[in-house]
Structure 1
Amino acid sequence: MDTIGARVKEALRGCGLSQAELARSVDLGESALSKSINGTRAFSAVELAEVADRIGVSMRWLVTGEPDPYEFRLVARHDYDRLSKSYSYDVSGDRGTLESIALLYRQAQSA
């Protein structure tokens, strides 16, 4: 998979939108989206940004096929492996802390 269109197609399978739904959500004709995915029409930068947002991927991944090492991730702790270009995190050790925080919020609301 070495094209933007192929990456859009792959991400579409995982996001729960049909190609027609994606086209409507980014205000693009179904034919224009189909041509862009198949490589006979180029996405504009704005279209590509909207597509990335709707299907939940980064622009960097759509354009290069590589994850964005600077992508914002909301986790208590994470590790980034530069070799595999992947993130990993384990929140199992944080469960007690998170439950204590949740308890404090519940107590503050009932006071």
Structure 2
Amino acid sequence: MKKEKEARKDTIVDMNESLIQYGSQKLPQETHVVQKIYDTAKAGLENLDVLFNDNGFGRTENFLDVAKGFLVDFYDLDPKETDTKAAALAQEAIDYLGKNMNDFIKWER
């Protein structure tokens, strides 16, 4: 149980770091990438597609796929259930980002 909890937190951090790193590449002129990503994603993950102007690549490849990898490693889920749980984990990751934003500011550089 503790191992799963630690892995979940590590995954959430990885998801956010990947998204911020991608955002820093896609939004080179933006000075507050972490804040911009958080503000955009908290209103709905699909909004990241517009922010990045990438047809969902950043949201799926750099965020949801990390969540799915964790879920597949820890649970025996069917694909539909994995998608649903990945969406929930993504929301948890965005909430975590909002509460720990200063920890992620370093990824803006």
Q: TM-score scaled by structure 2?
A: 0.29
Name which structure has the greater RCO, CA cutoff 8 Å, separation 6+. 2
Structure number with bigger Rg: 1
Q: TM-score scaled by structure 1?
A: 0.29
Structure showing the higher helix proportion among its residues:
2
